[in-house]
Amino acid sequence: MNDTEIVDLYWQRSDRAIKETDRKYGPYCRTIAYNILHNPEDTEECVDDTWMGAWGSRPDKRPARLSAFLGRITRNLALNRITWQNSQRRGGGELPLALEELGDCVPSAFNLEEELEARELEEKLRRFISGLPKAQRRVFLGRYYYLLSVEELAERLGFSQSKVKSMLFRARKNLLDYLEVGA
């Protein structure tokens, strides 16, 4: 079933909408949720909440691809389940490591939340990510959006792990420079 038909089901308030969404995008959203939550039960709840969220919002722009729409809901819901204070205690997933790495990108003596409105920071990040060279952008999103491990990124993209690490290092350095200019 294609995305247009699935969106139609939401608009028709058909209970098949969730079934078809789960069939097509369940594995994808579970990957996103699990990489953040690292817990099977929490992951299932989060994905169920995603379907409820999609049901509630009825995707109204008829996107060409539902994946980005659903993935974003899943990611936000999963992150809502944890806070930065307890994030380091959550399981053994990639989240604590990714946060530690992103800590290198914060300009010293600079409080992001005080200096930038959330929307402004999001806009800056969106522009930064779009401006990265293609390969670096894929690695950056794989690591900090999808929370994939360096090993998995290397396998999926056909790079060595050392190359992935080096690309992430350069991307983080670029992000630090980019935010410092803004600061």
Contacting positions for another protein (CB under 8 A):
2-4, 25, 27-28, 31, 62-65, 67-69, 71-72, 75-76, 79, 83-84, 87-88, 96, 98-100, 102-103, 105-106, 110-113, 118, 121-126, 129-130, 133-138, 141-142, 144-146, 148, 152-161, 163, 167, 170, 175
- Alpha-carbon distance of 129 to 140, in angstroms, equals 8
* 114-118, Cβ contacts within 8 angstroms, sequence gap of 24 or more: 115/183, 116/182
* Residue 159, helix vs strand vs coil: coil
Q: CB-wise, 51 or 142, nearer to another protein? A: 142
Query: Shortest Cβ distance from residue 65 to another protein (Å)?
Result: 6
Query: Shortest Cβ distance from residue 42 to another protein (Å)?
Result: 18
Q: CB-wise, 45 or 176, nearer to another protein? A: 176
